[in-house]
Amino acid sequence: MKRDMNAADLTLPELTDARRDEIEATLFTRISEERSLSAITAAQEAERARSRAVRRGRVWMGAAAAAAVVAVAAVIAPSLGIGAGSGSAITAEQATMMEGAGATSFDSKAMSGGSADAATGSTSREVVASASASITADNTRAAIDEITASVTAAGGYVESVSLGGSPVVYDTTGGVSPILPTDPIPQSAWITVRVPADALTDTIAGLAAAGEVTATQIDRRDVTTEAVDLRARVSSLEASVARLTELMGQATSTADLIAAESALSERQGELESLRQQLTWLDSQVAMSSLTVTITEPTPATTANPAGFGDGVSAGWNGLVATLNGLVVAVGFLLPWLGVLAVLALIVWGVRRVVRRRRTTEDE
């Protein structure tokens, strides 16, 4: 028979003072641990928030710096771009030919197994020479006429000439020379001529008849290996073309004829290209280039101002010119200063918003 149990039937053990102290100590320890964990979690969240704010600030600062760089580049770019793309000494066609000559040399060495080097030792050296000189003459037009006559007598020709920056291209076939400009004589000019290689030194020495020679320079480049390689390639292709032509005559089927004709067309195109390169290289070896820069002597200057009154006048003119320059500079900078001010205002506003969000997150 079951017995019903109630609160009166339950008897709890009596708590001693030691047991009570132990329970209180355990409870307080757990409370302390929970508080410490909460403090650590809050510190970690605050550190993450600060890291995010720092990253955002760096991004905005980088954007502002990039905008400033773009603005500065827009100011200085026009001055850096003046005169770009001038002064090329070799035409695109010549550069292509030289590049093709270098590639041909490499292929010939690989195919012939060094036979080109052996042939070089038994031939005379082929050198491309180019020179430049500077002279001072009282009359640039007369100096150009003197150089032209000297070059023509040596068997060369005038390639181009410039008086005061207006180039005049001469007829290289020996025709009538063009009429030079009739403007006042400029203070400087230049002329480029082609002379036989063996007459280059004498032509440079003859520049003394046109004026006072102030500087000369001669550059020589040995192209013997390139020339030998090109000739070997041309000879090999000529033999190949001859063999293919013979095979075309012996073809017994349409397929063989088409294959031989295709190969022959390819060989003939390559042969013509190599012949043109060799012709250009031979012309560079045979005729040297000489560029002469002609300048007129600088006239002597007298002291100015000569007295106290002239000094005061010159000082006043300098002051007015300086003020005008400052006004122009301020007018030029005003638009850019406005743009920079707007950028600075944007950066300041963004930083203010970021700082306010950081303060809100910390609270």
305: left (phi over 0), alpha (psi -120 to 50) or beta: beta
Give the whole-angstrom CA distance, residue 214 versus residue 208: 10
CB 295 within 8 A of CB 136: yes
Structure confidence at residue 195 as a pLDDT band (50, 70, 90)? very high
Average pLDDT on 188-208 reads 90
**157: closest CA among 176, 140, 145, 170?**
170
Structure confidence at residue 100 as a pLDDT band (50, 70, 90)? very low
pLDDT tens profile 328-341: 888 888 888 888 88
pLDDT recorded at residue 276: 92
CB 193 within 8 A of CB 159: yes
Q: Is the pLDDT of residue 110 over 70?
A: no
Q: How many CA atoms lie within 13 A of 269 on its CB side?
A: 6
Give the whole-angstrom CA distance, residue 323 versus residue 317: 10
Q: Is the pLDDT of residue 131 over 90?
A: yes
Model's pTM, two decimal places? 0.43
Structure tokens at 336: 């850019």
Kindly report the number of other CB atoms within 10 A of residue 233's CB atom. Answer: 24
pLDDT recorded at residue 157: 92
Average pLDDT on 32-46 reads 77
Structure tokens at 292: 């002469």
pLDDT tens profile 136-169: 988 888 899 999 999 999 999 998 988 864 444 4
* Range of weakest confidence among 93-107, 249-263, 324-338: 93-107
pLDDT recorded at residue 288: 92
Amino acid letter for position 277: Q
292: left (phi over 0), alpha (psi -120 to 50) or beta: beta
Give the whole-angstrom CA distance, residue 249 versus residue 246: 5
